[in-house]
Every structure is written in C-alpha cells, then in structure tokens.
Structure 1
C-alpha cells in the first residue's frame, strides 16, 4: 500500500513539469481566496454562497484542527476532480470517461450471494461515511459538494478499473490477503459501498442529520461481524 501511495504522489508531482496542468488548480485557489475575503467582510449574497458550495470554499473553516485537516483533504478531492474535468480537454480527450461503466458495475456489485460478499459493501459504506464526516466536519449541506464529487469520482474509477481509489483499495486488499491478487468483484463491491455511503451522507446533510460518523462506525462494525461469521461458516464447512 505504501508503495502505491508513493508512486501516486510521484505521478501527481509530474504535473508540475507542465504549467498548463496547474492552471485549474491556480484558478480554484484564487476563487477560494476571493470567497474567503468576501466572507471576512460579511459579503455573502446568493451568488457567493453558490460559488462557495460549488468550490468547497468553506471546507476546513470549522471544527478546529480536526476540521481543518479534513477540509484540506476535501479540497484535495475537489482539486483532483477539477483536474480530471479540465486536463483531458487540453489533451483532446473526453473527461469523466468510464462513468457509464461504473454505473453498470455498481448495480452488478449489489448482487450478493453470500455473507462474505456483503462485507465489502458494508465496509465501503462505513468507510465513506466516516471519510465524509472527516472532510465535512460540520456535515452541512453547504459543504456537501465534496461528497457529491467523491461519488462521481469513485464511479469513474469503477468504470475504468483504475484511478486512486481503485488502486488504493486493490493495494490494501492485496496486503490483507498476503500477496494474493484481490478479486475485481470484491474491489468493485467495496467501491460500490463507498458510492452508497457518500450518497447517504449527502442525503443526511440535506436533512440536517449529522449522523454520518455514527452510522459509518456502525456499518464498519457490521462488516467485521459479517467477515467473522463468514469465516467461521467456511471453517465449519471444511471440517
């Protein structure tokens, strides 16, 4: 897993060699600065609120140190999304290719036939709820765009069977299985669970219910229980 993250960081830093690829990030940073200045002067009309929502400008502004760190992570997600939308245009490619395949894979992953196959769904669901609560510490609708963006990006990862989250989950699963190649359906189920989790988290924010962290912990515990039960069932069958 560590090797995967290091390689991903190296690939991301390669963007610094091409100034054009930095343009979206710089522009977004200027928007964040301008919106922060407007907010400090109490200027907050509807257009400013809409821009703040779309750019996750208030991410990390609340919740102390914990909220700030989570907000920074959320801003990284927003930057990655913006780059995924704009940079392919410079390369004369279609942005967000793979989302259609991701939607198909999502529905296929929901078909479960055993206790063991339920665990990845619950695990992904729980993890994404906790991650959302971390990035959006206030769990407010104003900052919920980070959940929507994460939802779209994971669908794209599933469709392409590549990208940061796909590679990370694949790497972690490989480490847990002691070097065995993880099944693609298992990785897809976990990511499908994450899409469900982010969708649920945004819905909870819309209903002003700050339950994401608690529900996330509950789903992770449920996933662990399913793993234990499935393992014991296999042991009994093998005996």
Structure 2
C-alpha cells in the first residue's frame, strides 16, 4: 500500500472537528453510542483527549438534543478539557459543514469520528504533516478479508482485494479547501469527507498508513474490544 508522509512542512495552525451524532441503535442501547462508557468514562471523552495538545482548537459537533446530556456527563466526570460545541445537522455532511464554519479561514483541520477513541497521536501527526504538503490526507488500512462483487441476489465474482483499502479517520485537509468543498450540494454518495473533497474537485487525496486499533465503535462487540484496548499499553 503506497502511503505518503512528507518530512518538512511549514507549520500551519491545526484544528480538529469531532463529529458525534450516533443514536446507538446497533448497540441496542437507549444511550447514544458516543456517551456509552469504556473504562468508566464516555467514549467521547477518550476521543477528545487524543487530540488535546496537538491542535489549537477542538470543535465537537453534537445534535441539539444531546448537548445537555453531554454537559451533564462532563460535570459528572469532572471533564474540563477545552473544546467548543457546534450544532449537528440531519446528515453527517451538514454536521461537518457546521463544525468547519466555526473555524478560522485558514490552517489544517482533522475531521474525526467521535466513536473512534483509539487514533494514536502519531497517526494524527502523520495526517497533519501529509495534509500540510499535499492538501488532503486519508488514513487507510489493507483489507484482510476476501472480497466478492455481487452480480445478482445469488451470484458474485471474486475481486482482487490488493486494489482496495479500508478508510479511517481523522481525514485531514487544508482548511480553505475542505470548507469550499462542503459548499457543493449534498449527495447520498458522500460517505466521508474525502468523497466530498474529490467531488468538489479540490485535488487528490494522499494515503497515510492507518492503524488496526483505530476502530469505530458500532456494535456491542466493539465495546468489548474497546475495553481490552484500554488495558493495553497506550499508543504513542
């Protein structure tokens, strides 16, 4: 897998937009998944801590009806890490656009899933370093499972998995370019920030080697894995 990690960029201001709007249906929980506890504290607190000290500002995007719950949890856990809030929208596209609107006109921004609490600081740094030079950085990992493309309900054909990668966050960009990209009309084909960036023809996206531990917590099994990862030595 070809990846890019430039060595000597000029330092630009760095920011993070953490998008957290999940409802927890696949967790089979009434509690939004970003508020579920791992290691005794909500997932989202672990996620924000990954960026603390690496960026000038953390913007947390939450639905309006979850803001009071987040404030209550911060009080209960004495969570005082500095961050600002932005209102989430009906889609992730609208939520990211809201978060970007609260940032300055220039710099670099890492856009990250609120339920990915294990991105290492070295991965975050690599994404910023790459985006500063190329404009956009996308963390990816190789696909280990075999892949097949369906041609009907019952038929399929094997495809070469070496041509594909699995996408992670933080997806990191020059701030002026990604904000301009998010001015285009929404499309259901926008599955992540890189797809918006490419659709707006803002440039190519450079790949950065991701991490198998940088998991997105989606199911109850993911929560169990998260507890195990918390017991492991922290990533650098």
**Structure label with greater radius of gyration:** 1
Same-fold call, TM > 0.5?
Answer: no
More strand by share: 2
More helix by share: 1
TM-score normalized by the length of structure 1? 0.24
TM-score normalized by the length of structure 2? 0.24
